[in-house]
Structure 1
Amino acid sequence: MAKVTAVIDIGSNSARMAVFKKTSRFGFYLLREEKSKVRISEGAYENGGNLQDFAIKRAIIALREFLFIAKSLKARKILCVATSAVRDAPNRSEFIKKVKNELGIKIKVIDGDKEAFYGGVAAANLLYEKNGVTVDIGGGSTELALIVNKKIENTISLKLGTVRLKELFFDKDDIEGARKFIKKEIEKLGKIFNSKKVFGIGGTIRALSQVIMKKTEYPLDILHGFTYGFEEQKNFLESILKMSDEELLKIGVKPERFDVIRPGTLIFLEILKYLGTKEVITSGVGVREGVFLTDLLRNDNYKFPNNFNPSVRTIMDVYNIDRKIASYETKIALEIFDLLKKDFELNDKYKMHLTYAIKLSRAGELIDFYEAHKHTDYILLNSLHYGFRHSDRLLISKIIRFHKRKKIKKREIEKFKNLLPKKEIVEKLCNIFWVAKLININLSMPDVKISKEKNKIIIEGPHLYLAKERSKSRELFFDLEIKNLV
């Protein structure tokens, strides 16, 4: 597979390009993302589905710019897919031929099930939850994929899209007509897709999540993985249907979404009600990531290996983290954790946070050794995109951020109180982290013996002189004795 791959998705409303760079077999990161509001479907639904000349021209201009960017980034592979508006257009072959002749880009028109599949592959591999239903609202259609234990069990495409409903109903101020149209179409779902958890994909759903984040004063500016209860937000979502443009702007909707946010919200509301959804998990990934991953994982049943996390691998690759040292220090931390967990009421779930905190703790050293813990905190909070809850990535980053402290100031974690455990738990995890790093202060990975007497942890082994000297300067929640065997 090419080291740099560009994926272009021509939707009914927007054309988007994502450029991915591989760091190893399964490690990768997003190198660049671009979007153009080409509105390839503009005027199509009122003209027998035919793509209009002005829309085609607009799309080709945007695609040419995308191509410049992709080639500048040394993309060796360009994958281009087109969805609802193009696949439904009687004159689609004319558009496809024009793009091929003028730009050399080969467009693959995908059907609704394939579009749903790509969204499902992205959600199944890059979100933290293993089971749920993806809902991907586009300009011309809405796709759903049923995911069971990270495997796509079923897909469906509905003729429900923001631009489609805008032109057919909302431009005529017929909201109730649109609602009836939606309800009739979603009857096709039957009972197969019922799910308490929905993975929300697409621009409309991301925009709604951003509005809810603003409304609830959510402490993190991270969209992918943002989760909210549907019942708690249902009335608010209903209110959006009747908001003026001025009111939409006030709650945080961007002007370019004014004309499609209402039809998109109505589609989403009716689908969530039909599915009996309790929780919405926002996905920052969709068709483009699905196309990329389908190519990357084509020989692996479209799934990453068990217990593999692409974000963790990418960080270790990019920041040249020594895997042997990381494994050694992780082993020390987990041994100490197991010895202390019963007496100090530490839940086993925190072993995961300690493990990743230790493994990735040296990322910030590439930027500045003296303030590495601060830089690593920022790197992890903003780079552990895939496979983690917001609460997980926050705790992992804060263990590193505060591990040098005797005490954490209450105000420093107060704003995260709904995402982090109690301050005392964070401090205990920081203490264990500090000792694990201390034992390997000279990077020799000494062969140590760790034991416990009452509330005292005893660590004995060679090359622990510096560790023993440094340990006297720190007050911990447990007693620590280090024996340097010369």
Structure 2
Amino acid sequence: MTEQRIGIIDIGSNSIRLVIYERTSGGAQRVIDGSKRAARLSERLNDDGALPSETIDELVDMINHFRLICAHHRTGHIRAVATAAIRNASNRSEVLHRIEAKTGLPIELLSGEEEAGYGFLGMINSMAVRDGFLIDIGGGSTEVSLFKDRTLVHSVSFPFGCVSMTKRFAKGGMLGDQQLRELEQYVADAVEGEAAWLKRTPGLPLIGVGGTARALGKVHQAHSRYPFESTNNYPITGPSADELFELLRKEPLDKRSKFPGLSKDRVDIIVPGVAILRAIFRLIGSSHYIVCGAGLRDGLFFATRFPERPRLDDVLTYSVNNLAALHPEAPMQHTSHVNRIVLSLMDVLQGQLPIPEQARQLIDVASILHRIGASIDYYDYRKHTFYLMTNSHINGLSHVELLMCAAIASYKGKNRVKQIAAAYKPMLGEAEIAVICKLGTLLQLAIALDRSETQAIGKLGIEISGGKLHLRAIRAEGMLAVERKEADALAADFKKQWGLTPILHTPDYR
């Protein structure tokens, strides 16, 4: 088991973080532990640009603490990296030497380009996006990258971040009008001087990774009373971000600390951080923001675990298969067979009836994961499936698509779908409810056709005629009595949704 666990230590400018990843016996990847310590290293540099000796001692203590956590989990490999605060310190050689000597861990000092590359890898492996800009606003640096066709094209690292900009322009966390103009001019000068290419591709989304972007996403969700908690793949319009920025900027720190969704350790640095974000957004002419829940540490994990091919070709397929592998109690042969049946049904029905373009993808995901709730309790497993799907990392779907997949996988009837929709207003409206009911009923029919969980139907012929959906078991073992009875029981509900009566035709074994 020791070789199957990787610890990533990220010595950032604002915080020091540990994440421990595990590869399970079933081949799935998951996080099993994590820890965070505030550091604010960028604001602790002295007048000579050096980190004081007592700060280095504190760093050593934190990293040794993280090493003990890794040892507790029998972590086979620990990878520790340092970013802007140590990169920009005038005594960085001394800092690295002392940390390595007193912890026994080699510390990789990442360049700005390397930091941008790992951040891009973490993002591109968690979102199904092809083209855009990526921004990571740390405590002491800001990395901005352009990617096209899921490939990194350009990247630049600016030597300023939310902590250093707070120290320079917003002492005490308050950013007045004049200071805001000066900060924005400072960012504009940096872009003009180091990365004029940023202005040449307008109209693309600006995807934010790291603490500033996630903090903005959480505050925006709380402020707008967004009913879904995940910040990964969360879109924000430019005007909406501007409005929230002004609300935060005008609040004194004692009131800002009570702002919904804002963590206490970001009260003073959130406004300068978002000011950098807005300045870059305007300079590059972005279409909108997207918050990404992954980032540097995730990129380091993929690069360490899969050094030959760290970038995923299909984000959604990887995350769905990973989630399925985390719940081996679900009978894999049965769910795979149900998946094949339901996709065969979709191929026939999609050409006959109006179904949204993404319907095949939704039911593909739902059919693979519909039994994962049994890992909690078989009884009422649908309820547990819904919870697990909406609280797990299923990357490559929008929030609405994820909710629809979970509702399809856990389908028990239209009333239950309406209850779910009521809890997630306004994300799920009448159009989404109609699709969920259609696809949920279709999935229940596919499950019924393998109710014995023996994969008895080897090949299924499907045709529509005379208001009936004829299902012919061309290759079958046995009389399929269980499957026939289950399909008959579903017939009335299926007809309500599809206008067709399903009939299972079985071979004559007289």
TM-score norm. by structure 2 comes to 0.89
Cα distance in structure 1, aligned partners of 2:362 and 2:316: 15
Select the residue among 257, 280, 285 that pairs with 2:289: 280
Contact 1:225–1:283 (8 Å) recurs in 2: yes
Contact 2:404–2:432 (8 Å) recurs in 1: no
Contact 2:316–2:396 (8 Å) recurs in 1: no
Pairwise CA distance, 1:347? 2.3
Cα distance in structure 2, aligned partners of 1:206 and 1:137: 10
The yes-or-no answer on 1:205 pairing with 2:205 is: no
Match of 2:451 in 1: 441
Match of 1:237 in 2: 245
Cα distance in structure 2, aligned partners of 1:308 and 1:169: 42
Cα distance in structure 1, aligned partners of 2:248 and 2:93: 38
Match of 2:483 in 1: 467
Cα distance in structure 2, aligned partners of 1:26 and 1:162: 39
Residue 121 of structure 2 aligns with an amino acid whose one-letter code is: V
Match of 1:99 in 2: 99
Q: 1:361-380 residue pairs with structure 2 within 5 A?
A: 361-380=370-389
Cα distance in structure 2, aligned partners of 1:305 and 1:27: 17
Contact 2:116–2:155 (8 Å) recurs in 1: yes
Cα distance in structure 2, aligned partners of 1:17 and 1:315: 23
Change (3 A) 1:146 1:288: same
Cα distance in structure 2, aligned partners of 1:87 and 1:25: 39
Residue 436 of structure 2 aligns with an amino acid whose one-letter code is: V
RMSD: 2.2
Q: Which runs of 5+ in 1 are unaligned?
A: none
Q: 1:50-449 residue pairs with structure 2 within 5 A?
A: 50-171=50-171, 174-187=179-192, 188-192=194-198, 194-195=201-202, 196-252=204-260, 253-300=262-309, 302-306=310-314, 309-320=317-328, 321-402=330-411, 404-405=412-413, 407-408=415-416, 410-420=418-428, 421-445=431-455, 446-447=457-458, 448-449=460-461
Cα distance in structure 2, aligned partners of 1:306 and 1:383: 17
Note the alpha carbon deviations across 1:330-354, whole angstroms, 9 max, x for none: 1211222232234431123110111
Pairwise CA distance, 1:380? 1.3
Contact 2:26–2:325 (8 Å) recurs in 1: no
Contact 1:237–1:265 (8 Å) recurs in 2: yes
Pairwise CA distance, 1:399? 0.5
Pairwise CA distance, 1:407? 4.6
Pairwise CA distance, 1:83? 0.6
Pairwise CA distance, 1:472? 3.3
Contact 1:407–1:427 (8 Å) recurs in 2: no
How many pairs align?
483
The percent identity for this pair of structures is: 24
Residue 42 of structure 1 aligns with an amino acid whose one-letter code is: E
Residue 21 of structure 2 aligns with an amino acid whose one-letter code is: F
Cα distance in structure 2, aligned partners of 1:237 and 1:32: 33
The yes-or-no answer on 1:9 pairing with 2:3 is: no
Match of 1:482 in 2: 504
Pairwise CA distance, 1:274? 0.9
Contact 1:408–1:423 (8 Å) recurs in 2: no
Change (3 A) 1:228 1:276: same
Change (3 A) 1:454 1:215: farther
SS in structure 1 of the partner of residue 129 of structure 2: coil
Change (3 A) 1:388 1:22: farther
Change (3 A) 1:411 1:322: closer
Pairwise CA distance, 1:246? 3.3
